[in-house]
Amino acid sequence: MRDNFTRRIVTLRVFRVRAVLGYNPVVDIDRELKDELQQILELCREFDVHPRLIGGLAVRGFARRKRFTHDIDLAISRQDKPNLITVLKRLGFEYQDLTQFEGVKATKRVGNVAVEIHISVERLWDMTSKQTYTLSSDSAQVTVDDAGNLLAPTVSAEDLLILKLMPLRDRDVGDVIALLLDLPAIDALKFWTNCERTNNTRYITAQLGRLENALRSGDFREAWSEFYGAPLSTRDVLTVIEKIRSLQKAKP
């Protein structure tokens, strides 16, 4: 485990820029990240912008198991984009319009920390799977910091689960496992309706099968321990497999 997350090595990708850090389930989000998110949400209310969290911070809000994350992923409607850019400028963010990827990237240095925001506009495009997804209108309110002081709007649990199943990279595998373990219930009808609505049913069905294979083979264990800091018990593995099968059986 890397020491107190002090080593920040930046990796560049075409659409996704993130800090590569160690993860620990007992570590809260950075104060800088929390402060910037709070300011963004406050100004968004002032400018009548309605962002919803996706990604690692949203998972933190829904799941009892926590992984460290160092960026903010938001989804907005196209009509909110101009006002959101105004919000980002007012807060001192530099932004890059990634129209070809249906998104905006914004960065700001706060002390020694680079705060990064990845914004999906209207439609979410995943560069790993090349799949696209349009969010439902459903939303939720969750606390994303360990103290429970920062309440933020997110997409629904069903939308978030689909978004995490689409790429199913190592950290996404961990996030899906955490969501399936910790969510009281997934609305299977809503889940599959959203898949069908966005023409993702066949792909998500295959991804659920891929996830079950990883759980049975143990291929997920190294990634889980890296991102969540402790091994997953056999009982938890069986619970996740059972929930995967339950979702598959509920498919219309």
- What CATH number does the domain containing 98 carry? 3.30.460.40
Q: How far apart are CA 179 and CA 172, in angstroms?
A: 10
Confidence of residue 29 (pLDDT cuts 50, 70, 90): low
pLDDT of residue 1 exceeding 60: no
Least confident of 109-113, 150-154, 158-162, 181-185: 109-113
Q: How far apart are CA 252 and CA 244, in angstroms?
A: 15
Model-wide pTM > 0.85: yes
Q: What percent of the chain has pLDDT over 70?
A: 88
Which pLDDT tens digit goes with each residue over 179-231? 999 998 899 999 999 999 999 999 999 999 999 999 999 989 988 988 888 89
Q: Give the total number of structural domains in the chain.
A: 1
> Across the chain, what does the average pLDDT equal?
87
Q: Are 76 and 50 in contact (CB under 8 A)?
A: yes
Report the DSSP beta bridge partners of residue 52.
Answer: 75
pLDDT of residue 42 exceeding 90: yes
DSSP state of 232: P
pLDDT of residue 41 exceeding 90: yes
pLDDT of residue 168 exceeding 50: yes
Q: 172 is written with which tokens?
A: 């996404």
Residue 36, classified by CB atoms within 10 Å of its CB into exposed (0-12), middle (13-18) or buried (19+), is buried
pLDDT attached to residue 165: 97
Domain extent, residue 127, equals 3-249
Confidence of residue 23 (pLDDT cuts 50, 70, 90): very low
Q: How far apart are CA 224 and CA 177, in angstroms?
A: 9
